[in-house]
Amino acid sequence: MLELSGVSYRYAGYPDPVLHDVDLTLADGEIVGVVGANESGKSTLCLVVSGLAPGSVGGQLTGGGLSIDGQPMAGRPLHEFVTRVGIGFQNPATQLSGVTGSVFEEVALGPMNLGASRRDTVQRTRQALATLGIEGLAERAPRRLSGGQAQLVVLASLLAMRPGHLVLDEPTAQLDPEGSLLVASALRELAATGTALLVAEHKTDILEGLCTRIMALADGRTVADGAPAEVFGDARLTDWGVDPPARIRLDRLVRERGLDPAQVLP
């Protein structure tokens, strides 16, 4: 269980906070989607939840702070976050370490860095690859993966460290449609494993079938937090810079024409 209570965050060298008084709870097994316009603070939220802000990027975190499983995480070294919260970003190329010769080694890197025994490392790697269904990629060179495949490898690499929570900052943003589909179905697999997921995305279609809860951010503040149907159905969604999922847009279009969606739509 991961909790942010009334947290504000300000980047180093910038006077204004990017996050204002944000609350977030991520219970075990929950899948929460985060939506919002481009500068709404989604990425910053991801960095804060994973401890990289302020741990790696500096800046100031004020308010109630972050606690995981009841333990306050303020001031802890970064490698202690890693076994509790994993974070994935949008650019597959810069997330691959660049020091491994095969996907297997890439996925094994995290456990190895954690000091796991050789046997443990191999076991965790095999498990992570299996969970995402990419055992077939194990011998491939990481450089030669497609964007979607690379993102799956990144997900496996994070999983191998067995965090209870995973944060993903726009995982499909730099992928082609095929890659996006690949990642979307991988996320569904992940959801089934019981790992809590926090996914920031523009593509609300992906979130719709996946999430148990949606959080909407605007100007660094939480403006909505509830069930997907409720948040995606909210009329203010486009004001917040978010495109509703296709189904809802279609539904609205049909209603605007004075037709009954139940009769017109499949």
Partner 1 sequence: MSRLVPATPTAFHRLNPLTKVTLATTGSVGAVIVGGYLGPLTILGVMIALAAQAGVLRALLRASLFLTLPLAISVVLVSVFTRAGTTVLFQVGPFDATMEGVDFAGQTLVRLLAISMSIGLFVMTTEPRAFVFDLERRGVPPRAAFVAVATIEAVPTLIERAGVIGESQRARGLDTEGSLRARLRGLIPIVAPLILGSLTDVEERSLALESRAFSRPGRRHLLWTMPDSSPERVLRWALVLVLVLAGIARITGRI
Partner 2 sequence: MSFSWGRFDTRTIVLIPIAIAINIVLGQTVAAALKIPIYLDSIGTILVGVLAGPIPGLVTGLLANLIWTYVLPAPLQSSYAAPFAVVAAEIGFLSGVFAQLGWFRSRPNSSGQQLVIAAVVALVIVGGLAIYTVSRFYTGAFTFFSPEGDQSVAFQLLGWLIAVGIVGVIVGFLALLFLRRDAGVAYVVVAGVIMGVISALISAPIAAVVFGGVTGSGTDLLVAAFQQGGSDLQTAVLQQGLLSDPIDKVVTSFVVFLLLRSVSRRVIARFPQGEAAVGMERP
Which positions touch partner 1 (CB under 8 A)? 47, 50, 52, 55-57, 77-79, 82-83, 86-89, 91, 94-99, 101-102, 104-105, 108-110, 112-118, 121-122, 139, 143, 154, 157-158, 161
What is d(CA 93, CA 90) in angstroms, rounded to the nearest whole number? 9
CB of 3 to partner 1, least distance (A): 20
Among 6, 27, 28, 57, binds partner 2 (CB under 8 A): 57
93 is an interface residue for partner 2 by CB under 8 A: no
> Quick one: angle between helices 118-132 and 103-113, nearest 10?
130
What is d(CA 53, CA 46) in angstroms, rounded to the nearest whole number? 9
CB of 248 to partner 2, least distance (A): 36
Question: Measured from the CB atom, is 12 or 259 closer to partner 2?
Answer: 12
12 is an interface residue for partner 2 by CB under 8 A: yes
Amino acid letter, residue 130? A
Amino acid letter, residue 236? R
What is d(CA 176, CA 182) in angstroms, rounded to the nearest whole number? 10
Q: How many residues bind partner 2 (CB under 8 A)?
A: 6
Contact (CB, 8 A) for 202 and 245: no
Question: Binding segment for partner 2 among 17-25, 35-43, 55-63, 218-226 (CB under 8 A)?
Answer: 55-63
Amino acid letter, residue 38? N
What is d(CA 91, CA 263) in angstroms, rounded to the nearest whole number? 42
Question: Measured from the CB atom, is 56 or 238 closer to partner 1?
Answer: 56
CB of 101 to partner 2, least distance (A): 12
Question: Measured from the CB atom, is 27 or 78 closer to partner 2?
Answer: 78
CB of 46 to partner 1, least distance (A): 10
Structure tokens at 29: 């097994």
Torsion, Cα of 153, 95, 37, 15 (10° steps): 150
CB of 100 to partner 2, least distance (A): 14
The residues that bridge with 26 in the sheet, in sequence order, are 2
Contacts to partner 2 by CB under 8 A: 12-13, 56-58, 98
